[in-house]
Amino acid sequence: MTDEQKNPKGAGKSSFDLINSDILKDVLPVKSGSVVLDLACGKGIYSMFLSEIIGDTGLVYAVDLWQEGLQLLDKEIEDKNINNILPMLNDATAEIEIDDYSVDVCLMATVLHDFEEMNKSGAVLEQMKTILKPGGHLAVIEFKKIDGPPGPPKKIRLSEDETEKMVAGYGFRTVRTEDIGEYNYLMLFKETDSNG
Q: Report if residue 18 sits inside a domain.
A: no
Q: Report if residue 196 sits inside a domain.
A: no
Q: Is 175 exposed, middle or buried (0-12, 13-18, 19+ CB in 10 A)?
A: middle
Q: Is 190 exposed, middle or buried (0-12, 13-18, 19+ CB in 10 A)?
A: buried
> How much is the average pLDDT of 187-192?
93
The structural domain count of the chain equals 1
Q: Is the pLDDT confidence value at 173 over 60?
A: yes
Average pLDDT score, the chain:
92
> In terms of residue numbers, what domain contains 38?
3-7+29-191
Q: Are 163 and 187 in contact (CB under 8 A)?
A: yes
Q: What is the pLDDT of residues 118-146, one digit of tens each?
A: 999 999 999 999 999 999 999 999 999 99
Q: Is the pLDDT confidence value at 3 over 60?
A: no
In 3-state terms, what secondary structure has residue 124?
Answer: helix
Q: Report if residue 130 sits inside a domain.
A: yes
What integer pLDDT is reported at residue 10 of this predicted model?
A: 60
Q: What is the pTM of this model?
A: 0.93
Q: Are 103 and 75 in contact (CB under 8 A)?
A: no
What integer pLDDT is reported at residue 5 of this predicted model?
A: 42
Q: Report if residue 47 sits inside a domain.
A: yes
Q: Report if residue 87 sits inside a domain.
A: yes
Domain of residue 114, CATH code: 3.40.50.150
152 phi/psi in degrees, rounded to 5: -75, 170
Q: Report if residue 12 sits inside a domain.
A: no
Q: What is the pLDDT of residues 82-102, one digit of tens each?
A: 999 999 999 999 989 999 999
Q: Report if residue 90 sits inside a domain.
A: yes
Q: Report if residue 14 sits inside a domain.
A: no
Q: Is the pLDDT confidence value at 6 over 70?
A: no
